[in-house]
């Protein structure tokens, strides 16, 4: 099986490992309705998100430490010149970081990279906030033994060579459809 890779940079404001403070907002908000339509069908657990019910979930997962949620949300009408894209970190009802605050022209503030070949799938969404570099990632390395599938957010503080990783606790909800046409692309 292949798993997509998405990297979204997080905003930093709390204390975390490697002496870098990070303030991440991952809020488990709304979940997508289950596919089962039967009256007594068992409900499939959905990854919590900080995205509103009227928004598209691009990426969302609870991270291991701190116990928060990271989400990348978009308006349903997202195109290269319409709608918006936002990164959020925290908990439902208590979002600690939302980037960008203004929902106009957000597409120019993010960069999307995707690399795919047999047994390798790497996806990243990158952005910068006040010198902090954020990278939301979704990685699958099927050539490794055992295969590696990892998702989350890497944050690099200004002047610090080492990044801090916030790894997803569970598989993320992810939908990268059309991002290549909407966001500028980076070199892999």
Give the residue extent of every domain in the chain: 17-36+43-185
Cβ–Cβ under 8 Å, residues 74 and 84? yes
Tens digit of pLDDT for each residue in 116-151?
Answer: 999 999 999 999 999 999 999 999 999 999 999 999
In this predicted structure, what is the pLDDT of residue 99? 98
What is the value of pTM for the model shown? 0.74
In this predicted structure, what is the pLDDT of residue 185? 84
Among 45, 58, 18, which residue's Cα sits nearest to residue 163?
Answer: 18
% of the chain at pLDDT higher than 70? 73
Query: Regarding predicted confidence, which is higher, 60 or 31?
Result: 60
Cβ–Cβ under 8 Å, residues 134 and 110? no
């Amino acid at each position: 099986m292949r798993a997509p890779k998405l990297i979204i940079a997080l905003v930093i404001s709390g204390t975390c490992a490697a002496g870098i403070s990070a303030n991440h907002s991952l809020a488990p908000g709304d979940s997508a309705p289950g596919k089962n339509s039967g009256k007594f069908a068992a409900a499939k657990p959905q990854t919590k998100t900080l995205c509103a019910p009227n928004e598209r979930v691009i990426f969302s997962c609870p991270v291991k430490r701190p116990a928060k949620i990271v989400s990348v949300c978009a308006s349903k009408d997202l195109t290269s010149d319409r709608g918006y894209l936002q990164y959020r970190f925290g908990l439902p009802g208590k979002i600690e970081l939302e980037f960008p605050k203004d929902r106009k022209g957000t597409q120019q503030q993010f960069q999307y990279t995707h690399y795919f070949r047999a047994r390798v799938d790497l996806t990243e969404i990158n952005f910068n906030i006040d010198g902090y570099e954020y990278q939301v990632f979704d990685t699958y390395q099927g050539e490794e033994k055992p295969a590696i599938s990892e998702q989350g957010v890497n944050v690099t503080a200004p002047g610090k060579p080492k990044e801090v990783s916030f790894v997803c606790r569970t598989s993320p909800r992810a939908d990268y459809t059309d991002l290549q046409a909407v966001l500028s692309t980076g070199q892999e």
